[in-house]
Amino acid sequence: MINNIFFLLVLFSSLLGRVKFPGINIGIHYLLLPAFSLGIISFSLKEIPEIVKKHKIILISISLMYLWMWLSSLMSEFPNIAITYSFKYSTYYILFFAFLILTSKKIATPSLTFYYRCILYLLQIIAGLGFLEVFLPKNWIFKLLKFPSFYPEIGSIMQNPNQFGVIVAIGLCLSLILEKQNKISKIELNISELIFIISLALSASGNGWVIFIIGMFLLLIYKIISLEKMIYLISLLFLCILTVPVSTWRLGLANSKIFPLINVFLENSNSVNPNEKKPHTLVVTGLSRFQIWQAAINETIKRPLTGIGIGVFPDQIGVKVWGKKGYHAHNIFLNVSAEQGITGLLLFTNFLAKIAFKVKYANPLITVPILLFLVSQIIDFFAEDYTFTTLEFYFIAAAINSRKDIVMQLKPEII
């Protein structure tokens, strides 16, 4: 029971990325996440020796990853930045171990179901807040939580609309799997479908749209949904996209007299998007990624062994490409190689290989989200978003502890 409370506190803390300690410019989540994770660990001390023994290869792999992260940071030309980020990312190590305990085979199935439901509800809250922000962007709650301004103004509780779009797409896939496995009701699924699809369209996130479509195909392969259901959901998203001005602008249809569809019913189509800020089209954002990828490759060539230090790329390199700080390499592998060198990339790839061996034996409740978390970062990098990475580490831990007692309830004709 106490671990369930700590789990809820961990999820809540991951949302507090912009809430600062009074008087100092440090996010409160840097203390709360490891504190609540240690709470889980402290109430499970008897299980630790068995977990360490059982997962020693995984723990050695991630420990080597973190050890090299610190070494490359100490050898960086920008040690202050790199060491600061090393402290930040070390919270994930504690979080990961806590999740290994929570998802261990000794944990009863109802508790595991509780964790998945809590994650789904968290994603619904995020999607709901994003929907409200579109209409009330100046509300005090969004000013409190808001990251540096991005357009469209949605998902301030995440870092920007892109990871917001990805996370709600994953949320929709998760809800479909949970309903298929009788973990949530049909009504809960219908609510999820509505709120996630509308928020996904409003996010104008090309990455989120791609992840949604990939997720639908994965669910079709796993027989979670039928072909008809997949076509229905994709069509519903497409209809929402064509209705929302900011999304049609992203598709390059801003000057169309038909799209967004709302123009058909309004004499003055300019009134549907009075905001002077305009998002870049998918073509523009796609081409700009090639520039940042080239910059990451160049940095890897300059410092192939140790890299430039973790967190240095968006602070020192991305600014040279896009004119302001905060832009990472937009590819998880290139980002790791640029900041931690080829050595860091090999250690990271080794860790992924160890996880892949576990994932292939896991059920789709674990497999699908993990695949989507990884694929979404082929054209992006979300490690600095604590909500995104907290959920990602939970599913990784669940895959490592994958078990057969949470199974999909198949229909007789499929069996």
Helix (H) or strand (E) holding 12: helix 2-13
Give dist(CA 275, CA 194) in Å, integer: 26
Quick one: pLDDT at residue 175?
Answer: 96
Three-state SS for 397? helix
> For the chain, what is the largest distance between any 2 Cα atoms, rounded to a whole number of angstroms?
70
Per-residue pLDDT in tens (0 to 9) along the chain, 415 residues: 788 999 999 999 998 877 777 766 677 888 899 999 999 999 988 889 999 999 999 999 999 999 999 999 999 999 999 999 999 999 999 999 999 999 886 666 777 889 999 999 999 999 998 888 888 877 777 777 666 556 677 877 787 888 899 999 999 999 999 999 999 999 999 999 999 999 999 888 889 999 999 999 999 999 999 999 999 999 999 988 888 777 877 777 766 666 666 555 454 444 444 454 555 666 566 677 888 899 999 999 999 999 999 999 988 888 877 777 777 888 999 999 999 999 999 999 999 998 888 776 668 899 999 999 999 999 889 988 899 999 999 999 998 887 544 444 444 333 3
Output DSSP code: residue 137.
T
Question: What is residue 9's predicted lDDT score, i.e. its pLDDT?
Answer: 94
- C-alpha pair distances (Å), 218 with each of 49, 245, 356: 37, 29, 16
What is the pLDDT at residue 178? 95
Q: Are 166 and 208 within 8 A, CB to CB?
A: yes
Omega of the bond leading into 274 within 30 degrees of 0 (cis): no
- 403: which 2 tokens? 């078990």
Would you state the pLDDT for residue 361? 64
Using N-to-C axis directions, what is the helix angle for 386-400 and 29-42, rounded to 10°?
20
- β-bridge mates for residue 245, sequence order: none
The number of helix segments (H) and strand segments (E) in the chain equals: 18, 0
pLDDT at 150: 66
- Relative orientation angle of helices 161-180 and 109-135, to the nearest 10 degrees: 140
Say what the pLDDT of residue 249 is: 75
Q: How far apart are CA 57 and CA 320, in angstroms?
A: 40
